């Protein structure tokens, strides 16, 4: 037999008061999303694996647990991500719902292996999708709503990084660059390896070097990007980024924004502006999103929160106050205290010292002779 | 490729507004549990299968999806039930927490196959466990808290059925009945098959017949149970049932209670009073619980809600009202409306007829010239 306390690597029991804290943070996020008309959907934990692995799902195929379904005799996957599922709902079951369609979701996802940076294999994921609009206002809505949701959840010193992951591929396409050079160049750009970028960039070596240099605070980046000699698709992408940035800036002048138009990593299926949120001092991304094309061919954008990273960025909550009710306190007294918002803990048997018992039970207060009295050690 | 809209049998996409309704009901239940000092825990979706299948888990072993863990090279089970996990947490990670320990939980569980009555294979489960007290007041707390939580969630015409699943086995033990007869008798009792009960009951045929007749409204049942000629363990169990009933009745005189001390089905591991909740007109049990012995040897009791049954017992929620904000409405107006509790839907581009657009988007109202105006078709 396995030691009962032993859990597989990367899986954990979340204990009081952390489990409550996480639930309440997710609740706050969902409430903020709902206030902008994002309606909640709840896809199943498992479904046919080929449906799970479409579109952006293909990238995490190797991270998907699979089980045989004795009912259908087919392979099912345990979802490693919910965004593919929500996009599936939008483009099948809700294909006739009016556009733009706003959906929100929250749930658990599982991964086969953790990484060194994130050893966890189960995550809470929550987010929003906005399907059927190509407008800059749609990007702006998502960027500002994500910012508001994270701020209201308690994150301090938030900043958003805007990216344009399709830009480098578009420039490479214009240059008719061969596949191997493209890949090497993209990796060099992601590593911020200026020397390799220059070596690989060919006739556009200067352009790529300038692109790399443009990464940083938004005003600097926008000024530099405007100077780049771009054509065709790349030029359109730059216009989109600048327009979205201007709109966001006009609605939220105080927002801390950086721009890195050279980065690709993890955004392979994004077609327009991508957004990544960070908090000063917190490890890793708190969430990310961006524009993509849904399975239905519709323009779409969305944002997903990595709740584990978010929780690490938040202060630990205070232990809630609890009022101990000595054994045989009339039940209507307890009901009254709870109606007033108190958490009560019933004594279940007579004890010699009720105050000591309240303390032992971890209560901050005791109900004595009709009064709430603080307990002190 | 699989049709993207196709889900495996027994699994579903929960859509607006049902997904929000379910989340809000679970939230209400958890809030009620928290008000009595039940602290939330969150066990993982998967863990080593032999840990999942201990105690009451053994009964649903065949209902557990299993996956190979490439990290530990061992079999994991996807939880078919959360109560075993919570009991595991209580008796391992929280073994040194003060007793009685009050824990709550909410999450998704998966079953390999549905039944004809309940074709679903994924359920939302939520509940409470109270570990480390053998007091009648503990049973009473759970019974009344479950009742309150279900009532506050909106269930009408609730009733609770109290059972004593260990009673028949205790009587059989006293009679030194052989194993086959015991099993036949228990099945006959569960089927309310009076003729078979009489035939199988041997010297105690009359006793079992009376026990069967006792099932019904609490006052009738208690009166009949008091007349039974019981000894030893069986007598103790009856005393416990009567004491718990008296305590519940004194604290909640209006509660609708039935008692069936002859039933066993599904309560194999319960050692004392068991509780099952029904609502008039709603299919199936809304939840159940009862007294058991935890893996640590501690006296424990708990209650679990079958959220799918609960949702079927509730009225459908109203569609929430939404206010359409025509394109380019200043964002601070939206912020103000949301601060006042309104749900807003931003127009993302100019349209010729904003009222028609608001209607098309499913909004009940539109924000025009600083006012919220009802939209009518």
Contact: B349, A135; criterion CB under 8 Å: yes
DSSP A314: S
How much of chain B exceeds pLDDT 70, in percent?
99
What number is the average pLDDT over the span B244-272? 90
Strands A74-78, A66-69: pairing is: antiparallel
H-type alpha helices, A258-344: 307-313, 331-339
B83 marked ligand binding residue: yes
Q: Sign of the C-alpha dihedral, residues B171, B174, B176, B179? A: positive
Please spell the DSSP secondary structure of B149-209, one letter per residue.
Answer: HHHHTT--SEEEEEE-TTHHHHHHHHTT--HHHHHHHHHHHHTT-HHHHHHH-GGGHHHHH
Task: Using DSSP, state whether A234 is helix, strand or coil.
Answer: helix
Q: Min CA distance, A44 vs chain B (Å)?
A: 6
Contact: B39, A48; criterion CB under 8 Å: no
What number is the average pLDDT over the span B193-209? 93
A116 touches chain B (CB under 8 A): no
Looking at the domain assignment, is residue B47 inside a domain? yes
Cα angle A225-A227-A228, degrees, rounded to a multiple of 5:
70
pLDDT, position B170: 94
Strands A257-260, A274-279: pairing is: unpaired
* Cα nearest neighbour of A360 on chain B: B98
Contact: B2, A51; criterion CB under 8 Å: yes
Cis before A100? omega within 30 = yes
Q: B309 and B176 in one domain?
A: no
B6 touches chain A (CB under 8 A): yes
Distance CA B84, CA B252 (A): 30
Distance CA A225, CA A229 (A): 9
Q: B365 and B221 in one domain?
A: no
Residue whose entry in the numeric block shows the structure tokens 């490479």:
A172
A82 marked ligand binding residue: yes
B20 closest CB neighbour out of A22, A40, A51:
A40
Q: Chain B partners of A359 at a C-beta cutoff of 8 Å?
A: none
Q: B240 and B130 in one domain?
A: no
Residue B1 has pLDDT above 70, yes or no: no
The two structure tokens encoding residue A74: 């087919």
Strands (E), chain A: 39-40, 46-48, 66-69, 74-78, 101-110, 122-131, 158-163, 216-217, 257-260, 274-279, 287-293, 299-306, 322-325, 343-346, 365-368, 371-374
pLDDT tens for each residue of A235-263: 999 999 999 999 999 999 999 999 999 98
pLDDT, position B287: 96
Contact: A17, B39; criterion CB under 8 Å: yes
Looking at the domain assignment, is residue A349 inside a domain? yes
A67 closest CB neighbour out of B42, B67, B74:
B67
Q: Chain A partners of B12 at a C-beta cutoff of 8 Å?
A: 44
* Cα nearest neighbour of B86 on chain A: A13
pLDDT tens for each residue of A293-342: 999 999 999 999 999 999 999 999 999 999 999 999 999 999 999 999 99
The two structure tokens encoding residue A280: 């000063």
What number is the average pLDDT over the span B95-106? 98
Q: Using alpha carbons, select from A329, A314, A328, A308 the residue that is nearest to residue A126.
A: A308
Contact: A40, B47; criterion CB under 8 Å: no
Identify whether the C-beta of residue A171 lies closer than 8 Å to the C-beta of residue A237.
no
Residue B377 has pLDDT above 80, yes or no: no
Contact: A4, B40; criterion CB under 8 Å: no
Q: B290 and B310 in one domain?
A: yes
Order of strands, sheet of A322-325, starting from the edge strand that comes earlier in the sequence: A343-346, A322-325, A365-368, A371-374
Pairwise pLDDT comparison (A269 vs A274), residue with the higher score:
A274
Residues B175-185 as b or e (16 or more Cβ within 10 Å = b) = bebeeeebebb
Contact: B141, A98; criterion CB under 8 Å: no
The two structure tokens encoding residue B180: 């086959």
Looking at the domain assignment, is residue B115 inside a domain? yes
Using 50, 70 and 90 to split pLDDT, how confident is the model at B243? Answer: very high
Q: Chain B partners of A346 at a C-beta cutoff of 8 Å?
A: 36-37, 137, 141
The angle, 0 to 180 degrees and rounded to 10, between the axes of the packed helices A167-174 and A232-251 is 160
pLDDT, position B117: 75
Q: Min CA distance, A37 vs chain B (Å)?
A: 5
Looking at the domain assignment, is residue A370 inside a domain? yes
What number is the average pLDDT over the span A139-147? 98
Please spell the DSSP secondary structure of B203-264, one letter per residue.
Answer: GGHHHHHHHHHH-EEHHHHHHHHHHS---HHHHHHHHHHHHHHHHHHHH-TT--EEEETT--
* Cα nearest neighbour of B148 on chain A: A335
Q: Min CA distance, B274 vs chain A (Å)?
A: 19
Least confident residue range of A106-120, A299-313, B224-238: A106-120
Contact: B46, A15; criterion CB under 8 Å: no
Domain stops at, among B302, B318, B334: B318
Q: B83 and B108 in one domain?
A: yes
Q: Chain B partners of A348 at a C-beta cutoff of 8 Å?
A: 100, 133, 135, 137-138, 141
Q: B365 and B298 in one domain?
A: no
Looking at the domain assignment, is residue B74 inside a domain? yes
A81 marked ligand binding residue: yes
Q: B34 and B47 in one domain?
A: yes
pLDDT tens for each residue of A346-365: 999 999 999 999 999 999 99
Mutate to test the interface with A, among B1, B15, B138, B246 (most CBs of A within 10 A): B15
Specify the CATH number for the domain of residue B80.
Answer: 3.30.930.10
Q: B123 and B218 in one domain?
A: no
Q: Min CA distance, B36 vs chain A (Å)?
A: 5
pLDDT, position B266: 67
Contact: B98, A361; criterion CB under 8 Å: yes
Please spell the DSSP secondary structure of A131-177, one letter per residue.
Answer: ES---HHHHHHHHHHHHHHHHHTT--SEEEEEE-TTHHHHHHHHTT-
Q: Chain B partners of A47 at a C-beta cutoff of 8 Å?
A: 7-8, 11
Please spell the DSSP secondary structure of B62-89, one letter per residue.
Answer: GG--EEEETTTTEEEEE-S-SHHHHHHH
Distance CA B204, CA B171 (A): 9
A125 marked ligand binding residue: yes
Distance CA B316, CA A118 (A): 41
Residue A53 has pLDDT above 90, yes or no: no
Contact: A67, B72; criterion CB under 8 Å: no
Q: Min CA distance, A51 vs chain B (Å)?
A: 6
Structural domains in chain B (count): 3
What number is the average pLDDT over the span A80-98? 96
Q: Is B106 left (phi over 0), alpha (psi -120 to 50) or beta?
A: beta
Q: B361 and B288 in one domain?
A: no
Q: Min CA distance, A331 vs chain B (Å)?
A: 7
CA distances in angstroms from A269 to A149, A287, A294, listed in the order given:
25, 16, 10
ipTM > 0.90 (yes/no)? yes
In the A/B pair of chains, how many CB contacts fall below 8 A?
238
Q: Chain A partners of B47 at a C-beta cutoff of 8 Å?
A: 7-8, 11
Contact: A13, B66; criterion CB under 8 Å: no
* Cα nearest neighbour of A39 on chain B: B16
B50 marked ligand binding residue: no
pLDDT, position A1: 62
B66 touches chain A (CB under 8 A): yes
pLDDT, position B4: 86
Contact: A11, B47; criterion CB under 8 Å: yes
Q: What is the largest CA-CA distance in chain A?
A: 88
A40 closest CB neighbour out of B23, B331, B343:
B23
Looking at the domain assignment, is residue B161 inside a domain? no
pLDDT, position B17: 94
Q: Using alpha carbons, select from A211, A215, A212, A189 the residue that is nearest to residue A200.
A: A189
Q: Min CA distance, A232 vs chain B (Å)?
A: 25
Q: B333 and B313 in one domain?
A: no
pLDDT, position B352: 97
CA distances in angstroms from B190 to B264, B266, B296, listed in the order given:
7, 10, 31
Q: B110 and B240 in one domain?
A: no
B39 closest CB neighbour out of A20, A71, A93:
A20
Q: B82 and B53 in one domain?
A: yes
Contact: A8, B72; criterion CB under 8 Å: yes
How much of chain A exceeds pLDDT 70, in percent?
99
Looking at the domain assignment, is residue B123 inside a domain? yes
The angle, 0 to 180 degrees and rounded to 10, between the axes of the packed helices B232-251 and B136-152 is 50
Contact: A345, B46; criterion CB under 8 Å: no
B102 marked ligand binding residue: no
Residue B220 has pLDDT above 90, yes or no: yes
* Cα nearest neighbour of B131 on chain A: A348
Looking at the domain assignment, is residue A284 inside a domain? no
Structural domain span for residue A367: 322-374
């Amino acid at each position: 037999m396995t030691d009962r306390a032993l859990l597989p690597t990367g899986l954990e029991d979340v204990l009081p008061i952390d489990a409550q804290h996480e639930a309440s943070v997710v609740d706050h996020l969902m409430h903020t999303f709902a206030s902008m008309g994002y309606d909640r959907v709840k896809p199943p934990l498992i479904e046919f694996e080929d449906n799970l692995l479409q579109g952006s799902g293909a990238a995490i195929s190797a991270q998907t647990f699979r089980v045989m379904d004795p009912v259908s005799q087919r392979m099912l996957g345990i979802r490693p991500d919910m965004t593919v599922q929500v996009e599936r709902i939008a483009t099948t079951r809700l294909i006739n719902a009016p556009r733009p369609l706003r959906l929100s979701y929250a749930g658990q996802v599982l991964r086969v292996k953790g990484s060194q940076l994130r050893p966890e294999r189960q995550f809470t994921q929550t987010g929003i999708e906005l399907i059927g609009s190509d407008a800059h206002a749609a990007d702006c809505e998502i960027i500002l709503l994500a910012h508001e949701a994270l701020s209201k959840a308690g994150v301090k010193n938030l900043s958003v990084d805007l990216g344009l992951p399709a830009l480098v591929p578009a420039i490479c396409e214009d240059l008719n660059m061969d596949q191997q050079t493209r890949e090497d160049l993209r990796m060099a750009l992601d590593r911020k390896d200026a020397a390799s970028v220059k070596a690989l960039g060919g006739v556009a070596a200067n352009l790529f070097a300038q692109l790399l240099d443009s990464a940083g605070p938004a005003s600097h980046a926008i000024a530099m990007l405007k100077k780049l000699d771009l054509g065709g698709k790349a030029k359109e992408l730059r216009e989109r980024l600048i327009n979205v940035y201007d709109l966001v800036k006009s609605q939220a002048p105080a927002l801390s924004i950086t721009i890195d138009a050279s980065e690709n990593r993890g955004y392979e299926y994004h077609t327009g502006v991508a957004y990544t949120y960070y908090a000063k001092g917190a490890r890793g991304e708190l969430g990310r999103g961006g524009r993509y094309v849904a399975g239905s061919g519709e323009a779409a954008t969305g944002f997903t929160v990595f709740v584990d990273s978010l929780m690490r960025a938040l202060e630990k909550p205070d232990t809630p106050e609890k009022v101990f009710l000595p054994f045989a306190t009339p039940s209507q007294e307890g009901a009254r205290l709870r109606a007033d918002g108190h958490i009560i803990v019933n004594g279940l048997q007579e004890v010699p010292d009720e105050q000591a018992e309240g303390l032992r039970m971890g209560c901050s207060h005791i109900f004595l002779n009709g009064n709430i009295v603080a307990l002190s050690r």
